Amino acid sequence: MSSPLRFGILGAAGITPSSLIAPAALNPDVELVAVAARDRSRAEAFAAEHGIGRVEDSYESLLAADDIDAIYIPLPNSEHGRWTKAAVDAGKHVLVEKPFASNGTEAEEVAAHVAGSGLVVMEAFHYRYHALMSEAIALVRDGKVGDLVDVSATFDVNLPDRSNIRYIYDLAGGATMDLGCYSLHFVRSIVGEEPEVVSATYRPSTDDRIDEALTAELRFPSGVTSTVSSSLLEDVECQSATIVGTEGVLKVEGFVKPQEGNSLTLYTDADGATEIEVPERPTSYDCQLDIFVAAVREGLPVITDAADAVKMMHAIDAMYVAAGLQPRE
């Protein structure tokens, strides 16, 4: 029996209890060793609340610790690339929150930096590892909707607090960076190609460099079209996708957080509406952690690797440029 994979956590982010702490509690192959934050008192409170045994004085001291194998990075977007490189330099495997970097150029730099390290570097698009996404992809690959015509996805939330990091340009904020990346990743995963951005429009936040909402029209090399959209400020949260083919339509609800409720419905002329049951659990975060551990232990490839992240970030940059915005810096 091999010893558990020992994690260190950079920051005391609000996503961590769902994304890592709860899954780790169910996974005997994972141990949470230490946490570090800019404010040590915040790290101490976080560690006490979640049963993490040690608080390090700094990110650097956590990375230098000999009893840590892997680093989880849920820091603001602007810090993802920098600390991914630092973690790999320290000989640690990395699970980094999306987006992988602030822009496509930085993503390329990070990917080149970690290439050949022999370490697992995985972007945390957790939804991609859930049974809902696996089933949707299988239905499409099996021809249940015929040839693809259009694949569109939307992710909207209600986040009125403008002091939130998602509204801060210097932290690489914006609806597309935080939410639209899921919509984009979904359509790329279904189509299996890289898109051209045809056009995009956005709704500015109080800082007009920030997209409070953005919609982009895409076209793939095969001719498949797509609309991807996201908003930080809508009355109703929405995580919906529609896959249109020559022989049917597949509607996906709850694709980002399928453990909180989801549905998968196939519509065809021959059979009408068919509901496909997909279990909510294991959660997307449980599945993601399982895959990460397997990649470290067994050398298995991951879907959301650095190469995929580079393609993602270049597409996000193109969406911003098409909307008349600058990519994040």
Parse the chain into domains and list their residue ranges. Answer: 5-124+286-303, 131-281
Angstrom distance (rounded) from CA 216 to CA 187: 12
Whether domain 5-124+286-303 has CATH 3.40.50.720: the reply is: yes
Angstrom distance (rounded) from CA 70 to CA 292: 10
pLDDT at 108: 98
pLDDT at 1: 47
Model pLDDT for residues 170-205, shown as the tens digit of each residue = 999 999 999 999 999 999 999 999 999 999 999 999
Percent over 70 (pLDDT), the chain: 100
Tell the burial category of 119 from Cβ atoms under 10 Å away from its Cβ (0-12, 13-18, 19+).
middle
Model pLDDT for residues 236-249, shown as the tens digit of each residue = 999 999 999 999 99
Percent over 90 (pLDDT), the chain: 99
Q: Find, among 247, 225, 223, 269, the residue nearest to 145 by Cα.
A: 247
Kindly report the average pLDDT of the chain as a whole number: 97
293-300 average pLDDT score: 96
Model pLDDT for residues 150-172, shown as the tens digit of each residue = 999 999 999 999 999 999 999 99
Are both 5-124+286-303 and 131-281 of the same fold? no
Q: Is the pLDDT of residue 133 over 80?
A: yes
pLDDT at 303: 97
Angstrom distance (rounded) from CA 19 to CA 301: 20
CATH of domain 131-281: 3.30.360.10
113-131 average pLDDT score: 98
Q: Is the pLDDT of residue 2 over 80?
A: no
- pTM: predicted TM-score of the whole model, two decimal places: 0.97
